[in-house]
A and B are shown apart, each in its own frame.
Chain A
């Protein structure tokens, strides 16, 4: 286990290094000059050059990259070009809302996905099954900004049950978490359904029924723990998928997380923020995958870490 962890950690560091190198390079070759953005439209050539020097942007690529890595080792992500604040501070302030939203979205997708999946599996081949799978198909396919705006309109403006965007209370969390979770719920319900259908065919399920256990008890105590395995593995990987959705959902709902920060930074070519958010997301994804790998053998003794 220790050896496994050490190897995975080393891999993770290499992956992170690759991510920084690729992102840094892509931003470097981008045909947009950050110094011009900072200097503004009234700047003289002299001002532009002086800013370029102060930021070290006149240096060759490798020097700039090495300097960035050195900062990174000291957990220094630099200062935003346009906001002029510490990037780490900007990200730190926005991390809790994003983590909260992710946790809520995971809860949403797991609960909705599992319930739909189990229900469909139990009613296999009926109209209910078809209807549920149609809904899950819609959940997987619908663009999140459309779903988000629709939900805002229905629950916020029309029914007035929930606030129209924003952050602060549990009520604010419901719509963005649902919007973000629906996509995953669609996938989970399909996975859960096929996994459940598979398990329900197994001998031990028939045995359980034969023992005279109630149908509910058979499904919840015997079939579910076996059918849920592939889902657990998925949750860790999901964090990566969420990163994409979070940019959209946070923007639609005015949720003050790092997705919104990234979106604004991309529009304004604020390179230090783009780099910072990329690195933090990469760390999140790597941790998620690692966690999924570690948890899997705990649930299923058949899986061994090597």
Chain B
């Protein structure tokens, strides 16, 4: 065994070598002042604050502020750092992780957090009764299959060695395992609080996080209160956060302009975007940042005409991505591959398919459709997706493809995609946003054979067993010294996916949000790639 002290530099080297420096030099904001409170608004009700269940982008970062996991990210970045674990060791074979917990971390109910709680939490999230949407992330942990089948009393691979030591054994090496330990689904919950609240734990969350839930008035507001005993000195800065729900984004923006709201949680509504950006006073308070997101058109490779490679390549060459970016007011950058640019493993020098309708027409003729063909393009029915679909429809018409648009509710599009009855789908509104910043997260469910099943999220039904094998090989490399080699393999996997062209990548969305003049903190905290949409623990107010 080699000892890995959890210095952030080493950790970052292990996970993402390119970003190691940022992690090393992260310092608390010198201008940050403690105290004050803010108001943030959302359109939708907060669904649940149970870390084993909450899986929408709205409750994602709220849960991050109420709970902690063994691993965490440097605020505003995609760099791993230790969380509740103060250090860990990885065995030579990459199969055993031994985490040493921090001393003196207490839950909001005052009890000290121990290794038993970590074990309980991981057993709970993989218990079929919990119905966690995140259970699948723990598939590499030994005993996962027996646990999911309901045949075991917990994960045999997770062991509380002593109150401060947790040993986790994997059944196969998993290079993404530390990221999984930083996911909300592995956050630590106290057994007594879960048992007391039963299925309502999501309404009465008790964690170790920087904030605790002080009040929840159903359908109206949630109040988060500073946890004075938080284990990171000086964090959080804010005393209180009021989350008002049920507020239309348009109305939230009006209230922000009126000084009543500090952050519109749903961002700037598309219809108001130009108006906001045209006003220098407002544009100054807009924060822009990349997202781990790609918008794409899937083509069902199991059905004609998209079983033809030439046709799929032609679609890639027919879509005018620059124009589509214009349609959404430039709130995105054109994409040429599945991975977004801010994701490690992104192929900088890959050129992708050029926009070339002439060549596309030729390819379609070559595939035996000289007179074109008719097909269907499924799209989610909320703005701006139907408009984007219309632009794609026009581009396709120009090369002889007559695509009729099926504009449906989100759940219906997902169903059609899963069932494999949709020839083409524009992914907007349902697109993949990474769970954690690792290239593997963009592959298995949406491009791998495992997702290409009835009801799966691989809507192209694309299954390349060679690439699946290569992916498994890459993810078995958990030795930090070979991290670059692993990323190289992933780059190659995605390049080869593009050779087969099951998708036409269209753009990578940029996030635009706003903050009130009194709010402080680095811009990166407001477009945090991990704590979406805002990192509550590190922002502050200046008055």
**What residues make up the interface of A, taking CB atoms closer than 8 Å to B?**
30-33, 36-48, 50-51, 54, 79, 82-85, 89-90, 93-94, 97, 149, 152-153, 156-157, 160, 164-167, 250-257, 260-261, 264, 267-269
Contacts and interface: CB of A to CB of B under 8 A. Distances in A.
B218 A94 contact: yes
B55 A83 contact: no
A267 B128 CA distance: 27
A83 B48 contact: yes
A152 B253 CA distance: 12
Contact of A36 (B128, B148, B414): B414
Interface string B122-140: 0000001101011111010
Given A43-B133, A84-B53, A269-B409, 14 more contacts: A30-B411, A30-B412, A31-B415, A32-B409, A32-B414, A42-B137, A47-B148, A82-B47, A83-B45, A89-B218, A164-B255, A166-B244, A166-B247, A252-B251
B393 interface: no
A122 B255 CA distance: 43
Given A39-B131, A44-B136, A165-B247, A31 B416 contact: yes
Interface stretch (B26-34, B84-92, B195-203, B396-404): B195-203
27 contacts: A33-B418, A36-B418, A38-B131, A39-B131, A40-B55, A40-B133, A41-B133, A42-B445, A45-B455, A46-B148, A47-B131, A47-B135, A48-B455, A50-B150, A83-B47, A83-B48, A85-B203, A93-B217, A152-B251, A164-B260, A250-B246, A251-B246, A254-B251, A256-B245, A256-B246, A260-B246, A267-B409
Interface in B215-258: 217-220, 244-248, 250-251, 254-255, 257-258
A252 B248 contact: yes
> Nearest 10 A-B pairs (CB), nearest first?
A40-B133, A32-B411, A256-B219, A93-B218, A269-B411, A254-B247, A42-B136, A50-B128, A254-B246, A256-B220
B149 interface: yes
Given A33-B455, A40-B133, A255 B246 contact: yes
B133 A42 contact: yes
A304 B538 CA distance: 70
Contact of B48 (A47, A84, A167): A84
Interface residues of B, number: 53
B540 interface: no
Given A255-B246, A260-B219, A44 B415 contact: no
A50 B457 CA distance: 18
A37 to B, nearest CB: 6
A268 B416 CA distance: 16
B203 A47 contact: no
A104 to B, nearest CB: 18
A268 to B, nearest CB: 8
Interface in B441-457: 445, 453, 455, 457
Given A47-B148, A83-B47, A164-B254, A41 B445 contact: yes
Contacts of B44: 264
B248 A46 contact: no
A31 B414 CA distance: 10
Contacts of A45: 453, 455
Contacts of B136: 42-44, 47
B77 interface: no
A84 B199 contact: yes
A133 to B, nearest CB: 32
A268 B244 CA distance: 20
Given A33-B455, A251-B248, A157 B254 contact: yes
Interface in B370-417: 409-412, 414-416
